[in-house]
Structure 1
Amino acid sequence: MRDGALARTAQGRDLAARKARALRGASAGLASGSAAGATAGRPSTARPAGPRTAPTNTARTSDPARAGRPAPRRGGPRRVRLTAQRIDPWSVLKISFLVSVALGIAGVVMVGLLWTVLSGMNVFSTVSDFFTQVTSGESGGPAFDLMDYLGFGRVVSLTAVIGVLNVFLLTALATLTAFLYNICAALVGGAQVTLSDE
């Protein structure tokens, strides 16, 4: 009888302890909820519960001599080997057309400047006098004028015509070269290029 009373009182104590713990947990939850409501809008600085561990630095090595030095590069500069499999003929046509037009304009300007410099140095008149002396002799034949053949207008117009012809020829040649390269690359492989990061 006495043992049964002791067992009942032990169960009652356990039940009372559980109720007390539940009440403490509920009051702690209410307190934390009110504190969270009061600090809304501010970043939380609370740390998660759990065992505290010291932060470990994985970059540190066991060797103290290597701790302050960066790791050396292995094998020198990197090299990448690439293969040009195909060249787009349309892009080659556009680029070659623009480059040939630029070369034609530069050629006309260069020839005009060169003619102006030579004319200012009296080169054409000296050469014309020399040809006149050689061809006429003592008989007083017809005079030879070099400027009839090498005048400024004639030289610039001839250079412009050559520039226009070069535009068509260089554009067609570059596009044909792109087509031929694509055919050869499909048969035997493209040109290999080695790039380095030096």
Structure 2
Amino acid sequence: MQGSTARTSGNRPPGRPAPRRGGPRRVRLTAQRVDPWSVLKISFLVSVALGISGVVMVAVLWTVLSGMNVFSTINGFLAQITSGEASGPTIDLTDYLGFSRVMALSAVLGVLNVFLLTALATLSAFLYNICAALVGGAQVTLSDE
């Protein structure tokens, strides 16, 4: 066909436009479904990491406060307050805020948070799937730079 003005180049079909060469390519995608099993696994690992870091943070904080004599200063203050009472009970703060008691409480709260965060994330994945089935999902625009 000599008189034809439509040209095809290479392997590209004639109906497909030529790729842009100027700027970044943008693609618009829709997240229609989130796999609850993968959300459960990821949220479990993240919550375990948060639980361990929380226990370590509490141990470091207690050690720093103890090194700064905060607990002994508070004990002395409480002794001054209660010394005017006749046969009043003496309060020792380390009975309530000892290292082993604080660490045990921190570990229990960490384990509870692992279960709660994992369950909440998995439930959120199920709820997202239900809502995405109704409205079509969340649209995300990705850019190739």
**What is the TM-score with the length of structure 2 in the denominator?**
0.81
- Matched with 2:93 is 146
Tell me what 2:112 maps to.
165
The list of structure 1 runs, each at least 4 consecutive aligned residues, that deviate by more than 4 angstroms after superposition, is: none
Q: 1:69-96 CA deviation, whole Å, 9 max, x = no partner?
A: xxx943x322111110100000000111
Q: 2:28: which partner in 1?
A: 81
8 A Cα contact 1:84 1:190, kept in partner? yes
Residues in 2 aligned to 1:138 and 1:89: alpha-carbon distance in whole angstroms: 61
Q: Which structure 1 segments of 5+ residues have no match?
A: 1-71
Structure 2 counterpart of 1:107, one-letter code:
G
Question: What is the alpha-carbon root mean square deviation over aligned residues?
Answer: 1.6
Alignment size in residue pairs: 126
- Report the counterpart of residue 94 of structure 1 in structure 2: 41
Higher normalized contact order (CA 8 Å, seq sep 6+, divided by chain length): 2
Question: Normalising by the residue count of structure 1, what TM-score does the alignment of the two structures yield?
Answer: 0.60
Instruction: Report the structure number with the largest CA radius of gyration.
Output: 1
Letter in 2 for 1:170: L
Once the two structures are TM-superposed, the CA of residue 138 in structure 1 deviates from its matched residue by 5.7
1:7-156 to 2 correspondences below 5 Å: 73-74=21-22, 76-137=23-84, 139=86, 141-156=88-103
Percent pairwise identity: 82
In terms of fraction of residues, the more helix-rich structure is: 1
In the alignment, structure 2 segments of 5+ residues that lack a partner are: 1-19
Q: How far apart in 2 are the matches of 1:86 and 1:136?
A: 66
Match of 1:186 in 2: 133
Contact kept, 8 Å, 1:136 with 1:142, in 2: the verdict is: no
Range 138-147 or range 188-197, more displaced: 138-147
Q: 1:73, 1:89 → 2: CA distance?
A: 39
Per the alignment, residue 45 of structure 1 pairs with: none
